[in-house]
Structure 1
Amino acid sequence: MLPRSLLARNIALLVALVALTLVCSLGVLLHYIQRPRIERAAEVFADYVMTLDRILAPMPADVGHAVAARLDGQPEPPANAATRPPPSLLNLYRTYQRDVFLEELRKHLPADMPVRWQTADGQRLWMRVHVAGTPWWIALSMNEDAQTSGMTTAIALSLGLALLAALTGYLIQQRINRPLQELARAARHVSAGEAPVTLPTDGPTEIAQVSTAFNQMTEALQQAEATRALMLAGVSHDIRTPLTKLRLAMAMAIPPGGDDSFVASAEGYLDQIDTILQQFMDYAGSGEREVAQPGDLNALIGQLAADFAGLGHEFELSLGDMPVFAFRPIAMMRLLMNLMQNAVVYGRAGLAVRTWTEAEVAHVAIGDRGKGIAAEELEQLKAPFSRGRNARGHSGGTGLGLAIVERIARLHGGTLQFRPREGGGLEAHIALPLAGKPVKQAQAASRSGGLR
């Protein structure tokens, strides 16, 4: 039931505290200040009424009735004058004043001198006195000023101050939230593989400390990235150079017509080493430095499917309408090639690719009709150097292919999911944002696309 944002929670807490303070203050004011004043006024008024009764009681009938007539006296009270008038929510404080006044007035008046309150046709207090020895009802008008005594103004002023406090808290929290929003935006840029931005370190001390720590972290990440790129470039050069020399030495050392099987086996091992080295390079790079540019994802999928068809692997294409959006073309081609190559190697049959868009998200599903894999192993395949049981019989892999796919998907703000395919097999599902923002609730969005 609590608001999710820090701004809303702080405003709600501030409003609750101000409201609690006002309620407590009003309670103290009513109980210890206003109520004793009303009780004292009722006691004085009761003395006045009894004095009037003592004056009117011994008067001759004609004189007493004439005096009572000047006080709007009559033998019976009006029908709309009630012993306990109904409360009014719009005039809650007036109702409280009236009820306390009537309660105290009845305590100080004799039992044969009841009082009633008339709410219709103006507020009037009716009292029964004795005129020439007979009961007679006289009325006293109760104007609104006498009832409120400035309390309504005080309550309105308190509510205005509460709203002012809430508005002030909102403005203060907005100022605090602004650097936090900038921090969240910068963190999303870093997680998407973009160049980190330097955050300002002014403002409150706590926020400045967080911004300084973030700037130090991004600087360390940049240094680590530069060191990794330099190391990988050196590793690539230092390993591939002796591999090239080894190929040349083998070609020169083995005479024509020699052991062809040995030559083919050695060449195969060298190719595996080169492939493994390339996979390490691909995983380390994954397209962070490549610039995104508008492109047609369906056209890229069609081109890759044609290349696989030339190698004897036909993919059934079901391409929906896909708008042009920005992505890194080389990294995206690597992502699609890895998934399609996995479908060819481990699925072999029922190869298919389908695309669709939904809620500003582009969806790509690549499936096969292989033996599939248990649900508990699906997420583990995205971890580096993790290989499924159906891949352990294949040589030349490092378990980085799907890790590369996962990394490229996150670089584009997207997600990678695996699920069993209806009718058997496995399907890899990629969700990519069309507007450049990270995919929110990607599982729910892709689940609505479903297996069709």
Structure 2
Amino acid sequence: MTRPLLHRLLPRTLLARNIALLIALVMLSQVCALGVLLHYVQRPRVERAAAVFATYVTTLDNLLAATPPAARQGLTARLDARAQAPDEAAAAPPPNLMRAYRTYQRNVFLESLRAHLPADMPARWQTLGGQRLWIRMHAPADAPQTPYWIALPIPEDAQGNGLDAAILLSLGLGALAALTGYLIQRHLNRPLQELTRAARRVSAGETPAPLPTDGPTEIAAVSGAFNQMTQALQQAEATRALMLAGISHDIRTPLTKLRLSMAMAMPNDSDSSFVVAAESYLDQIETILQQFMDYAGSGEREQPEPGDLNALIERLAGDFAGLGHEFELSLATLPAVPYRPISMMRLLMNLMQNAIVYGGSGLAVRSWATREAVYVAVGDRGKGLSAQELEQLKAPFQRGRNARTHSGGTGLGLAIVERIARLHGGSLEFHTREGGGLEVWVVLPLGASTR
């Protein structure tokens, strides 16, 4: 229970966590330093001041007791002695949260002073009208009923004035340390941010520039390993594309020869069903080869151009309508989105073809836009699949259970669509359609640069 709560309270980013940790450490060190200063430096100093002050008060009390009555009146008048302490004088100084350290020092001074003075000599602290300490002297022997209250100046050590500059300087140094740590952490985080951006570009199929390796040793090691991984992926991609292109070329050549041989070998009056079946199988092989090539390419070399997605959707819907497949269109006004025309046409064509083959009825395409993204949804009323099955269809060579009865597929259709969507900075989502069936959403973020 404590661990999840701690995870929720901690900041999300490493920079924020390090800054929060740094500020907490600086604050803890300042509090500890202030505690050490008050307890081991200021408290003994204040206690010594209270002992000296108590000696001074005791001496003054003995002097007043030994002074003749005639001279005592003039002396008490000069000391502004009173029969009662003023109402502003309190047994303890009023608390002040903004200056808690001063209140602490005054309480220490009064506590130590009372420990050194007789119990019948109380002390009162006056803050209004000036800082003064009222002490009740012993009544003289010739007038035991009239004790004196005398106001004495408070020693500087008891007021804590000397700590103002020290505390302000300590807070300033703490703020400077936190700011310096923030700048250092931002400098250290910059290579990590560059690594994050480069990793996202690699995951989207782009080839990023090599990361610099002139930073700290640990960061340089990570950047160097990432550069090596990127180079290995580029070599693997080039090898894959070359291999698929070679396979396609090497297979299509004998297929063409086979078509020609079949056409020349069959007599004119022979049964044409065998030829039709053979031609169908050859067409399936050609389709499979083309899907492999589409997946290998997916339009990385095609340059994006601003265009109207709705116009492309309407053109494809018209083409399918000419083949007897009507799509219900519900198209909202869309902002101009830069996209690769051939790749985007292949994406929408694959989705609409899948809706025809596996859905059959309720064919529809709708589009809309928000502040963040443009959406295109292709739907049908076919038998729906579970969420896990839908996500698995994004992987190459995966086919849904509703595709088992259809031949000629390779399981690359949605993988091609997913790859093209990622190439445009977008994503592919599966949603259950209201009223039954399936909708496939193509999400293209606005402002995201196509790669």
With structure 2 as the length reference, what TM-score do the two structures score?
Answer: 0.94
Q: In 2, are the aligned partners of 1:58 and 1:131 still within 8 Å (CA)? A: no
- Pairing partner for 2:56 from 48, 53, 58: 48
Letter in 2 for 1:404: I
Aligned counterpart, 1:268: 280
Indicate which of 367, 378, 402 corresponds to 1:366: 378
User: Structure 1 residue 146: deviation in Å?
Assistant: 6.1
Aligned to 2:321: 309
Q: Which residue of 2 aligns with 1:2?
A: 10
Closer, same or farther: CA 319–120 of 1 in aligned 2, 3 Å: same
Deviations 1:384-425 (CA, angstroms, capped at 9, x unpaired): 111111111011011111111111111212111112111011
What is the letter of the counterpart of residue 118 of structure 2? P
The letter for the 2-side match of 1:434 is: L
For residues 370-390 of structure 1, give each alpha carbon's deviation from its aligned partner in whole angstroms, at most 9, with x where no partner exists. 122233322122121111111
Where does residue 446 of structure 1 map in the other structure? none
- Report how far residue 112 of structure 1 moved: 1.2
Q: Distance in 2 between matches of 1:363 and 1:87?
A: 64
What is the alpha-carbon root mean square deviation over aligned residues? 1.6
**Structure 1, residues 162-193: CA drift from partner, whole Å, max 9, x if none?**
11111111111121112222222222222222
Greater Cα offset, 37-46 or 64-73: 64-73
Equivalent residue for 1:75, pick from 58, 74, 83? 83
1:64 aligns with 2:72: yes
The separation in 2 between residues aligned to 1:196 and 1:127, in whole angstroms, is 82
CA separation in 1, counterparts of 2:157 and 2:62? 30
Distance 1:374 1:17 in 2: 51
1:218 has 2:230 as partner: yes
2:119 alignment partner in structure 1? 111
Task: Measure the CA separation in 2 of the matches of 1:145 and 1:122.
Answer: 16
Aligned match of 1:139:
151
1:267 Cα shift? 0.2
C-alpha separation in 2, matches of 1:143 and 1:416: 78
Range with bigger deviation, 373-382 or 195-204? 373-382
2:136 maps to: 128
Equivalent in 148, 153, 157 of residue 165 of structure 2 = 153
Equivalents in 2 of 1:437, 1:94: separation in Å?
61
The one-letter amino acid paired with 1:49 is V
The answer for the alignment partner of 2:187 in structure 1 is 175
Distance 1:99 1:23 in 2: 20
Provide, for residues 322-360 of structure 1, a one-character-per-residue CA deviation record: whole Å limited to 9, x for no partner: 111111111111111111111111111111111111132
* Residue-by-residue CA offset, 1:93-129 (whole Å, 9 max, x unaligned): 2111100000111111112110000111111110000
How many Å separate the matches in 1 of 2:149 and 2:40?
34
Structure 1 residue 65, shift from structure 2 partner? 2.9
**CA offsets per residue over residues 223-243 of structure 1, 9 Å max, x none?**
112212211111111000000
The 1:351/1:245 distance shift into structure 2, 3 A limit, reads same
Pairing 1:333–2:341 present:
no
1:90 aligns with 2:102: no
- Return the alpha-carbon distance in structure 2 between the equivalents of residues 32 and 280 of structure 1: 80
Quick one: distance in 2 between partners of 1:143 and 1:101? 10
What is the number of residues matched between the two proteins?
438
Conserved 8 A contact 1:294-1:325: yes
Q: Is the 8 A contact 1:60 1:132 kept in 2?
A: no
Matched residue, 2:407: 395
SS at match of 2:293: helix
Which of 34, 39, 47 is matched with 1:26 structurally?
A: 34
Could you report, residue by residue, the CA deviation over 1:194-250 in whole angstroms, capped at 9, with x for unpaired residues? Answer: 232111111211111111111111111221122122111111110000000000000
Task: Trace 1:183-198 onto structure 2 (pairs within 5 A).
Answer: 183-198=195-210
